[in-house]
Amino acid sequence: MAVNLDKPQLWKSDIARSVDMYNDWFLRFAPQAFRETRVQTTKDVEAALKATDDLANVSPSILREHPEILATLRMSACPPLAVDRLIGLAGVRSSLVKRMEKEKKLPARLMDIGLESELRKIGDILKRMADPDIFVWLERRDSPSELEIYRAATIVADRLCGSVANPIIRNAQEKRQLTVIGDWLETRPYRRLSVAEGHRFDNMPPGTFGFRMNVPGTLEAGTQVNIPVDVAIMPKAAKAGDLPVFFEAKSAGDFTNVNKRRKEEATKMAQLRRAHGNRVQFNLFLCGYFDSGYLGYEAAEGIDWVWEHRIDDLSQFGL
């Protein structure tokens, strides 16, 4: 039975209430989430400065030992360097730089001689482009004071956080949404499964739920893939062989991005249906800027949703 996808007469008022709820959360909590991340990032930048002798040493051996500092060094340049810009300037393999950025590791298959040369090129560019207005001691050719190091670290941390501001806010909101869902379920009462119990989506006991479970899906070509699902809930009345009810926690601070990404949920639904048939219940838990265009698209794909401001609608999914 449909819960919200078949009630377009309610969409307009729900959209307005959802936007208000997101904006209220953002004004009260987003600055705190950003500040907490900036504090930790400042410590990471200070560690990077210590590892490089305050940017005096960006040698291949340093980059080999500390590949995790690359993002900090990019943001230390004047102007700050995007990943692709660094690749182009240094004339190095994109796979090397992107692995250092994303995985904080070096490629395992790159020969030592080639790796040494590529790391040297990266270090030369980063050292040459270090911002003299931030790292004032470089032109003086002496050691910086503690205050100068801290000031430089906070500036670079602001650059780093500014470049990933949206993910910081999105992660904080997703964590909050999962907490809200968990609290609602536990008062019913459902029991949250721990990782140590080793339950999969297909052997969850009735009356339990889990966060971030992998569920097998099938691509169009027939290849099996693991699909991460934010929340899996096994209803109390479930029988042997029943699937959990799946929810994806979604929040958005503007209408533009959700309409760019609305196909993601439809793709997940299609992959789950290929693997498990039409009995799959894959739904959304929404807070923020989701307009009628987004809702209509998801409804056409058979995807239902619960608005966070009407969280008791969860009960209509048999929970």
pLDDT at 305 over 90: yes
Structure tokens at 113: 């001689």
pLDDT of amino acid 164: 65
Give the CA distances from residue 69 to residues 74, 89, 98, 310, in Å, rounded to whole numbers and listed in that order: 9, 18, 13, 44
Structure tokens at 99: 């692995």
Select from 61, 52, 319 the least CA-distant residue to 181. 319
Domains of the chain: 8-30+166-317 (3.40.1350.10), 37-164 (no CATH)
pLDDT of amino acid 210: 92
Write out pLDDT tens, residues 70-118: 888 988 888 888 888 889 988 988 888 888 888 888 876 655 667 888 8
**H-type helices in the chain, by residue range?**
8-51, 60-65, 70-75, 83-90, 94-103, 112-128, 137-140, 146-163, 165-186, 255-260, 263-276, 292-300
Strands 304-307 vs 245-252: parallel, antiparallel or unpaired: unpaired
Under a CB-based contact definition with an 8 Å cutoff, are residues 292 and 8 in contact?
Answer: yes
Q: Can you tell me the distance from the alpha carbon of 127 to that of 106, in angstroms, rounded to the nearest whole number?
A: 20
For the chain, give the percent of residues with pLDDT over 70.
Answer: 97
Using pLDDT thresholds of 50, 70 and 90, give the confidence band for residue 160. Answer: confident
Residue type, 25: W
Tell me the average pLDDT across 161-167.
70
Write out pLDDT tens, residues 106-146: 876 655 667 888 899 999 999 888 888 888 888 887 888 88
